[in-house]
Each structure stands twice: as structure tokens, then as C-alpha cells.
Amino acid sequence: MHGALSSLSARTTASGILTIDLAAVGRNYATLRDRLAPTVAGAVLKANAYGLGADRIAPALYAHGCRDFFAAHLDEALALRTIVAGDARLFVLNGLIPGAEGQCAAADIVPVLNSLDQITRWSDQACAEGRDLPAILQLDTGMSRLGLSESEVRILANEPGLLAGVRVLFLMSHLASADEPDNAQNPAQLATLRRLAKSLPPAELCFANSGGIFLGAAYHGALARPGVALYGGAPASGVANPMTPVVRLDVRVIQTRTVPEGTRVGYGGVHVTTAERRLATIACGYADGFPRHLSDRGAVYFGAVRLPVIGRVSMDSTTIDISALPDGDLAPGSLVEVIGPHQPLESIAADAGTISYEILTRLGHRYHRDYC
């Protein structure tokens, strides 16, 4: 009983409530899985499942049949190993920093090898243990971020002994413009991947990210790795979002006031009221993932009413104009919608001049989290 009261109290007094719909995550996975079939659908859980809690997201995905999980770093994969069952395959997208090979092998985690140096160190580990070790080889097909360059692929093709003890599960690359379906870089990268793959030992391809899944079967390969689409983010720009929303964020009003014409609002006094206005200060700021770029341009909602941000977003608070509401509708403790049916993830990201990925991964830890 005491625990239940504590939970109720935490929800009641929290600065905001972040609702994460695990059932929606499952539906999104099913949508992507069905679209990909017969390609296997994995899941990217890097950055604590895009900020939503890998300890809750991973089991939900596992329950819907996902068995292939991608992390960015080894420590993320090691944490996942304690969360999902042993039949799950765990991959580390950024490969391995020197000295981490033994820990990775002991935990049965598969590195994505991005350079000849990483390949050599993983091969040495395999030889030291007297067994083959699995890996994915990433090829750089035009993003210039991670992966073997064309010259490194040629070296590997001419010196196959570099892969001694390495069991290559997939050849992988990353689409740089998959969220733009008509971008010419997409087919160019696909052609480069196919060309480079021909010079290496035969292996299945792992190519499609969230956007790549919607480019068509040619991009799917044998294993896809959706990320933001699982969490309700739009996989492509300029078209209707086919994914189910996963997150809703409501934050509390701290204080309301009425100010006369000519009142300066917020840091720097950059906003000056042009008439009498009713204002509210809400309990979120850039420390909570409400970007400072929303200053004097973003908004929150109360019901269907848009309440614009005025002045600069502060670290822990933001001022909004509530003059469009009947007097008394909002009071200290009331909740306003930051992300939800009236302001989807992509809308607030666009207002902030960023992308949904950044909004998701920056959601602060001061909100009470409701998983449903």
C-alpha cells in the first residue's frame, strides 16, 4: 500500500507526465515486420531505446518476436544482455574500442566491424580463444561516417586471411538519405553496396533502416534494423506517417499571471507584449528536452487550443501565452500537452528546427513515466 501511495504521489507532484505506449511499440514492430517479410526485422535500441527505456522497450519487442537488437556501444549491449533472453542476438553498431574484445566475446555479443583495425583485433581474439567469432562487416557506401572505405575493401578482398576466425554474418551499410524517398543517393548507395559485396566472401546484406524499409524490397536485405519508426517517428518526410504514436508528454503549469502592454518576458527581455496578456509558466525547459530553439516560435496545447511560447525557453521553465483560453481554465498544477494528438513528434521537431530523433532522445528524467 505504501508503494502504491508513493507512486501516486510521484505522479501527482511530478513536473510532467511522459506516457510511453508499449502496445504501440509492439504494433509498430508488427507493421514493419509484415512489410519486410521475408526479411527479418530487428530493432535499434541505442541511446536507451531512443530515450524511452530499453529495460521496458526490449522485453516488449521480444514478446512480439524480435530477436535481433542493435546497440551503439558495448555497454548498452551488455545491459541488454541482462534484459532479454539468451536466444536474442545483440549487435554493437560502433564496433569495439581497443581492449573490449574479450568482454564482447564472453557476453556473446556481435560487433559491427568498421575498420581493418577492428577486424584485426577481432580476428586476434578469435585465434586466442581457438574459435570462430561472429561479426557484421560495415561498408561505407557514401556516408563517410563508419565502415570500410573502398580502398580497405580492396585490401580485405586481396588478403582474406585478415578475416581468420571471423564468421561474417552480414555485410552492412547505412543509408544517409532514406527519409527522402526520391533522393538519388539511395539507389547510388545500393549500387555501391552490391558492387563492393561482390569482392568479398558471400554474405547476406543488412541495409534498411526505418526509412529504407519504405524504399522497397531491393533495400531490405536479409536483416533490417528499424529505429525511430518503432517509437512512432515518421520514417520518411513529406508523406503521412504510417506509424502509431508511442509517446505523449504533458507538463504542469507552475504559475499564471496577467501582464499589461509593454511587459518584457523572459531572459534578455526579447519579447515585449503588445497588449494585455495572460501568461502561464510551465515546468519544462531545455534541461527537460524542450529545445531552446522553441523560444518565441513553439507552442503547447490545452485541448485543441494552441498556446504559443513567448520569450526564451529557460533551463527549467517556459512561458506561454494563455490569453486564448477562458479565464480560469488553467491553474497551477494543470497539465498542458507538449507532445500528443494536437502536436505530434514531427511537429514540435519542425518548430525547433530539428528532427524527431533529437526530441525523443533528449526527453528529460524529471518527468514521471507511465508505461501502458
Name the residues annotated as catalytic.
46, 267
Torsion of CA 146, 152, 154, 157, to 10 degrees: -90
Cα 202 to Cα 169, 171, 270: the distances in Å are 10, 9, 61
State the amino acid at position 174 in one-letter form. Answer: H
CA distance 2 to 176: 51
Q: Considering only CA atoms, which of 20, 16, 12 is closest in space to residue 345?
A: 20
Where does 135-245 have alpha helices with state H? Answer: 150-158, 185-197, 210-213
CA distance 70 to 94: 10
Asked if 334 and 252 count as a contact pair (C-beta separation under 8 A), the reply is yes
Where does the chain have alpha helices with state H? Answer: 2-13, 22-36, 46-50, 54-63, 74-81, 101-106, 116-129, 150-158, 185-197, 210-213, 345-351, 356-361
CA distance 1 to 12: 16
Where does 276-366 have alpha helices with state H? Answer: 345-351, 356-361
Asked if 205 and 167 count as a contact pair (C-beta separation under 8 A), the reply is no
Torsion of CA 202, 203, 204, 207, to 10 degrees: -110
Asked if 17 and 335 count as a contact pair (C-beta separation under 8 A), the reply is yes
- Any bridge partners for residue 224, and if so which? 41
